[in-house]
């Protein structure tokens, strides 16, 4: 029958070049196997099976749900990083919204250069844009992977190859497909409790999964996870705060500023997966999720003597004093309040000075010190809500002109909302009437997708039928800004006296920024794969995509695999790709606090076409374009499996948030003429731009060996990645040398893991050794190329371990630790130690909080 095809040509079902591949292709593969008993590739991952598919023309990792669970962290990002060396994710304290949703990097590219699928369907983006993303992720807007609990996952499939010709925008670095469990019976419940060696960051995770029959011909599989995590602190007292406290200011907190993980409260997520056999070679499927959590993290400390536009406007020589009469049109009468200086040049305690006492006694005069006498550290938080639903049907067409074609029709909708809040801060322009807590507004990301896909095998006299796939996709993406409470954005009566406008640290979104922007695109693709001979496979895919905002793009991909003998095969690919700027990146508005040259400044992030951005070089955004080449080989003999793959990815017109561009006093008049309000209160502006090109190359090595040892089963796994990024050209007006340095060296060039897993009848255990090579460590948004708060950090090794005891067929008890030997992160050098209250560089590749231990009990039924 002409509809049969060999699944070995499918690149694990996600390499089929269908925009909706895994559920689609795997289902058709099973049908083909049933009808013709053709050998198929095993795609279900387990600890004893290789994680890369030997017969795929492109490199793929498969990580089973059981392997994901062997990690102290309950965050899906950390679980994947432990299994895939070319994947990186790190905590980003004091990084605005990036602290709420961590970005992830595959092959050294930003998080929105990796396409994320759920059951083979495109996953929607998060509403959070990583404004301070550690260099590589500055301005990235990728999906929120952390909402996916491991208990819901059957396996994760990671395609480490460019795939824009198959799936469309974003698949420059590769594709990650999360496959949900589909059991119709059984389930599990587990409770995990853990803490850092330092005694903070306590975590409690309760999760469960149950499979239920859906009539006699289907299933309903449901999963949930509830997590709470306390904040951590790896901080010391800041020198400036310590000095003021030593002068008698008793309102200084110790430490004044916290570097650590944010607090996560009531992190609840539900996932459902439904399938039903409709008969006549058709089936129905539906899956989706609801997730919500509250996250609260820290900000920079506001010094009560010198914080600009709050406590002073002259660098801390005098206090900023508000005059009530002046705000009402009268002449100014308030006297200058000098900040006392000690003989060594350090500050005295202004609260005890005669100038200050006289000012406080005058009801016409005030300063923010009367509300925050010890300064303050804002707390930035958010409520993140994520929902999605996909409904579809697939099967074989039994009549008409499409007879014998397999089809998949589906519709998806996804929504992610981030409601931001800021506590323990001020709107100084409101004077002493300012509230201390603010609702600063919301971002809402909404995506709708419709897919129609077809596939059929044609007998053309070759070794096997030629597989032909084609399809259409329609997608709508919107980004909405909802304004915050009035107090978070309004300009109070004292704005003209130099007081900051809006909630300080993260100004609320005002009515002028509120609104929704949309974009629609349609795509068509065709993919052909042919097993030319028994040992030679070739494939080609072409995709055309048209956007209503910036035109169209056409991309292609070529793949080939040559089997030299039963043990060795060679493979390679070449493709072009693109990444469209997100609607959010093109329209987002935000005010953020950044550290530049050791000073905190207020930076206004505006759309590139905003008058302020355009004045300083902003232009309409265009898509990134990429070219990638990859080749490698596979060796498989008995229980030994080895793959080695080289890749090279050139990205032109790369999109990112620009460096901060100073707003100059000489430009105030021109900016006001363009409609920019209060330009004197904006220290710097940034915007998204297509202003640099990069080349990323590297090597992936994966090796597995299984054997019987010590009366049990043993699996040895080695995974290694070398990755190097070079900035080929950049615009020095929007991208500074420090950012280039972080792009090129901000992550280790070399990373590896070696895992030993051992199992017996009643006990299983594993030990994982993680190697992180040297990298360029930076601190606190530092943008210097050399000589500031940065250095080349040393390589490091961490060790993770877990042991599980099977009490009976139902109950498993586990205990383990990540970084079991408490390897320290890179410490700041002596001359910088304690600056801004930090002990360690924030930019390291592994958790700077130190060792973490946990215990877990699981009940299977």
Q: Which residue matches tokens 């030679």?
A: 536
Which of the two residues, 544 and 32, has the higher pLDDT score?
544
Supply 77's token pair. Answer: 């990002």
> What pLDDT shows up at residue 783?
58
Which of the two residues, 767 and 596, has the higher pLDDT score?
767
Q: Which residue matches tokens 């130690």?
A: 833
Select the highest-mean-pLDDT range: 51-60, 561-570, 786-795.
Answer: 561-570
> What pLDDT shows up at residue 742?
87
> What pLDDT shows up at residue 551?
87
CA-wise closest residue to 7 among 37, 35, 38: 38
> What pLDDT shows up at residue 531?
92
The average pLDDT across 25-38 equals 35
Residue 779 pLDDT > 50: yes
How far is residue 428 from each of residues 437, 501, 591, 677, measured CA to CA in Å? Answer: 13, 7, 15, 17
Please write the tens of the pLDDT for every residue from 251-264. 999 999 999 999 99
Measured over the CA atoms of residue 421, residue 423, residue 429 and residue 435, the dihedral's sign is positive
When mean pLDDT is compared across 427-431, 540-544, 603-607, 615-619, the lowest value belongs to: 603-607
Residue 23 pLDDT > 60: no
Q: What's the whole-model pTM score? A: 0.90
When mean pLDDT is compared across 129-138, 310-319, 795-804, the lowest value belongs to: 129-138
Task: Give the DSSP per-residue string, 257-291.
Answer: S--SPPEEEEEEEEEEEEEEEEETTEEEEEEEEEE
Please write the tens of the pLDDT for every residue from 275-302. 999 999 999 999 999 999 999 998 889 9
> Is 214 in a helix, a strand, or coil?
coil
Task: Give the DSSP per-residue string, 13-33.
Answer: TTSS--TTHHHHHHHHHHHHH
- When the pLDDT of each residue in the chain is averaged and rounded to a whole number, the result is 88
> What pLDDT shows up at residue 42?
30
The average pLDDT across 305-322 equals 95
Confidence band of 53 (pLDDT split at 50, 70, 90): low
Which of the two residues, 167 and 34, has the higher pLDDT score?
167
Contact 207, 181 (CB under 8 A): no
Please write the tens of the pLDDT for every residue from 810-831. 999 999 999 999 999 999 887 7
d(CA 395, CA 417): 35
d(CA 272, CA 288): 6
Please write the tens of the pLDDT for every residue from 457-484. 999 999 889 999 999 999 999 999 999 9
Select the highest-mean-pLDDT range: 237-241, 305-309, 384-388, 501-505.
Answer: 384-388
> What pLDDT shows up at residue 4?
33
- Whole-angstrom distance between the N-terminal and C-terminal Cα of the chain? 42
> What pLDDT shows up at residue 284?
98
The average pLDDT across 632-648 equals 94
> What pLDDT shows up at residue 98?
64
Contact 734, 658 (CB under 8 A): yes
Alpha helices in 142-293 (DSSP H): 164-167, 239-246
> Is 478 in a helix, a strand, or coil?
strand
Q: In whole angstroms, what separates CA 704 from the centre of its chain?
A: 29
DSSP 746: S
How far is residue 653 from each of residues 122, 135, 546, measured CA to CA in Å? Answer: 24, 16, 19
How far is residue 616 from each of residues 509, 658, 676, measured CA to CA in Å? Answer: 22, 11, 13
10 Å Cβ neighbour count for 391?
A: 15
How far is residue 283 from each of residues 196, 210, 217, 278, 308, measured CA to CA in Å? Answer: 47, 21, 10, 5, 63
Supply 460's token pair. Answer: 């053309």
Residue 21 pLDDT > 70: no
Measured over the CA atoms of residue 261, residue 262, residue 266 and residue 269, the dihedral's sign is negative
Q: What residues contact residue 459 under an 8 Å CB cut-off, 6+ apart?
A: 2, 465, 466
Which of the two residues, 719 and 70, has the higher pLDDT score?
719
155 Rama sector, left if φ>0, alpha if ψ -120 to 50, beta otherwise:
beta
Which of the two residues, 52 and 711, has the higher pLDDT score?
711
Residue 2 pLDDT > 70: no
> What pLDDT shows up at residue 97?
64
> What pLDDT shows up at residue 671?
93
Q: What residues contact residue 635 under an 8 Å CB cut-off, 6+ apart?
A: 567, 568, 641, 642, 643
State the number of CA atoms in the 13 A half-sphere of 128 facing the CB. Answer: 28
10 Å Cβ neighbour count for 66?
A: 14
Contact 559, 58 (CB under 8 A): yes
> What pLDDT shows up at residue 593?
67
Supply 717's token pair. Answer: 């796994």
Confidence band of 599 (pLDDT split at 50, 70, 90): low
Confidence band of 595 (pLDDT split at 50, 70, 90): low
Residue 386 pLDDT > 50: yes
d(CA 232, CA 239): 21
Which of the two residues, 665 and 104, has the higher pLDDT score?
665
> What pLDDT shows up at residue 67?
76
Q: What residues contact residue 800 under an 8 Å CB cut-off, 6+ apart?
A: 71, 72, 82, 767, 768, 770, 816, 817, 818, 819, 820
d(CA 467, CA 680): 63
Name the burial class of residue 142, with classes exposed (0-12), middle (13-18) and buried (19+) by CB atoms within 10 angstroms of its CB.
Answer: buried
Q: How do beta strands 599-605 and 684-686 pair?
A: parallel
Q: What residues contact residue 239 under an 8 Å CB cut-off, 6+ apart?
A: 834, 835
Q: How do beta strands 790-793 and 590-596 pair?
A: unpaired
CA-wise closest residue to 429 among 495, 515, 513: 495
Residue 20 pLDDT > 80: no
Residue 364 pLDDT > 70: yes
Backbone angles phi, psi at 682, to 5 degrees: -110, 115
CA-wise closest residue to 423 among 434, 410, 407, 439: 439
> What pLDDT shows up at residue 508?
94
> What pLDDT shows up at residue 30?
38
Q: Of how many residues is the chain composed?
A: 861
Please write the tens of the pLDDT for every residue from 787-804. 577 889 999 999 999 999
Contact 45, 67 (CB under 8 A): yes
> What pLDDT shows up at residue 598?
59
> What pLDDT shows up at residue 137?
80
């Amino acid at each position: 029958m002409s509809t049969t095809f060999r699944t070995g040509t499918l690149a694990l079902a996600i390499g089929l070049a269908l925009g909706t591949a895994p559920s689609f292709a795997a289902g058709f593969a099973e049908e083909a196997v049933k009808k013709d008993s053709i050998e198929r590739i095993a795609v279900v991952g387990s600890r004893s099976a290789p994680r890369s598919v030997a017969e795929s023309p492109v490199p793929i990792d498969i990580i089973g749900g059981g392997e994901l669970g062997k990690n102290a962290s309950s965050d899906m990002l950390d679980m994947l990083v432990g299994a895939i060396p070319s994947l990186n994710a790190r905590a980003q304290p004091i990084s605005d919204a990036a602290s709420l949703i961590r970005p992830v990097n595959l092959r050294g590219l930003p998080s929105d250069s990796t396409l994320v699928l759920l059951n083979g369907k495109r996953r929607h983006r998060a509403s959070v844009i990583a404004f301070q993303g550690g260099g590589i992720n500055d301005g990235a807007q990728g999906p929120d992977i952390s909402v996916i609990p491991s208990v819901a996952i059957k396996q994760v499939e990671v395609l480490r190859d460019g795939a824009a010709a198959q799936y469309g925008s974003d698949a420059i670095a590769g594709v990650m497909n999360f496959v949900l469990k589909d059991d119709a019976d059984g389930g599990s419940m587990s409770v995990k409790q853990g803490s850092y060696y330092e005694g903070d960051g306590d975590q409690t995770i309760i999760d469960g999964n149950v499979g239920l029959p859906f009539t006699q011909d289907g299933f309903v599989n449901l999963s949930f996870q509830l997590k709470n995590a306390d904040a951590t602190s790896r901080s010391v007292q800041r020198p400036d705060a310590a000095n003021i406290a030593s002068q008698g200011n008793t309102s200084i907190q110790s430490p004044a500023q916290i570097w650590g993980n944010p607090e996560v409260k009531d992190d609840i997520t539900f996932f459902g997966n439904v399938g039903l056999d409709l008969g006549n070679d058709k089936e129905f499927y539906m899956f989706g999720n609801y997730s919500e959590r509250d996250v609260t993290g820290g900000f920079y400390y506001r010094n009560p003597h010198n914080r600009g536009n709050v406590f002073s406007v002259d660098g801390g020589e005098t206090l900023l004093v508000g005059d009530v009469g002046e705000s009402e049109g009268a002449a100014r009468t308030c006297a200058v309040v000098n900040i006392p200086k000690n003989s060594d040049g350090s500050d005295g305690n202004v609260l005890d000075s005669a100038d200050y006492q006289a000012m406080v006694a005058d009801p016409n005069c005030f300063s923010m010190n009367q509300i925050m006498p010890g300064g303050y550290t804002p707390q930035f938080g958010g409520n993140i809500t994520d929902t999605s639903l996909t409904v579809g049907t697939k099967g074989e067409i039994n009549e008409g002109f499409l007879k014998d074609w397999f089809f998949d029709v589906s519709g998806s909708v996804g929504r992610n909302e981030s409601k931001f809040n800021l506590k323990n801060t001020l709107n100084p322009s409101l004077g002493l009437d300012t509230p201390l807590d603010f609702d600063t507004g919301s971002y809402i990301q909404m995506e709708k997708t419709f897919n129609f896909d077809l596939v059929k095998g044609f007998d053309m006299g070759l070794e096997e039928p030629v597989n032909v796939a084609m399809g259409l996709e329609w997608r709508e993406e919107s980004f909405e800004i909802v304004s915050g409470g009035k107090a978070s954005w309004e300009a109070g009566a004292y704005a003209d006296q130099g007081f900051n406008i809006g909630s300080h640290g993260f100004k609320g979104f005002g009515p002028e920024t509120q609104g929704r922007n949309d974009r629609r695109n349609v795509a068509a693709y065709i993919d052909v794969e042919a097993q030319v001979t028994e040992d030679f496979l070739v494939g080609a895919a072409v995709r055309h995509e048209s956007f209503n905002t910036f035109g169209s793009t056409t991309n292609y991909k070529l793949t080939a695999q040559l089997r030299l003998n039963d043990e060795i095969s060679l493979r390679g690919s070449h493709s072009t790709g693109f990444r469209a700027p997100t609607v959010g990146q093109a329209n987002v508005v935000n005010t953020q606090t950044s550290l530049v040259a050791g000073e905190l400044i207020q930076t206004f992030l505006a759309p590139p076409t905003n008058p302020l951005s355009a004045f300083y070089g902003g232009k309409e955004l265009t898509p990134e374009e990429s070219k990638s080449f990859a080749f490698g080989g596979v060796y498989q003999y008995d229980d030994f499996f080895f793959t080695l793959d080289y890749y090279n990815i050139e990205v032109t017109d790369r999109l990112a948030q620009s460096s901060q561009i100073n707003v100059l006093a000489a430009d105030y008049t021109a900016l006001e003429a363009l409609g920019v309000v209060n330009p004197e209160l904006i220290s710097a502006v940034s915007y998204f731009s297509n202003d640099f090109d990069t080349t990323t190359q590297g090597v992936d090595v994966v090796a597995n060996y299984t054997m019987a040892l010590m009366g049990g089963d043993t699996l040895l796994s080695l995974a290694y990645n070398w990755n190097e990024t070079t900035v080929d050209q950049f615009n020095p007006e929007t991208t500074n040398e420090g950012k280039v340095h972080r792009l090129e060296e901000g992550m280790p060039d070399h990373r590896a893991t070696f895992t030993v897993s051992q199992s017996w009848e009643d006990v299983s255990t594993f030990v994982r050794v993680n190697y992180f090579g040297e990298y360029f460590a930076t601190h606190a948004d530092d943008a210097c190329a050399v000589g500031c708060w940065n250095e080349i950090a040393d390589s490091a090794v961490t060790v993770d371990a877990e042991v599980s005891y099977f009490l009976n067929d139902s109950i498993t008890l586990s205990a383990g630790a990540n970084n079991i030997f408490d390897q320290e992160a890179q410490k700041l050098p002596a001359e910088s130690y304690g600056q801004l209250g930090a002990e360690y560089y924030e930019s390291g590749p592994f958790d700077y909080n130190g060792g973490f231990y946990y215990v877990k009990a699981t009940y299977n039924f």
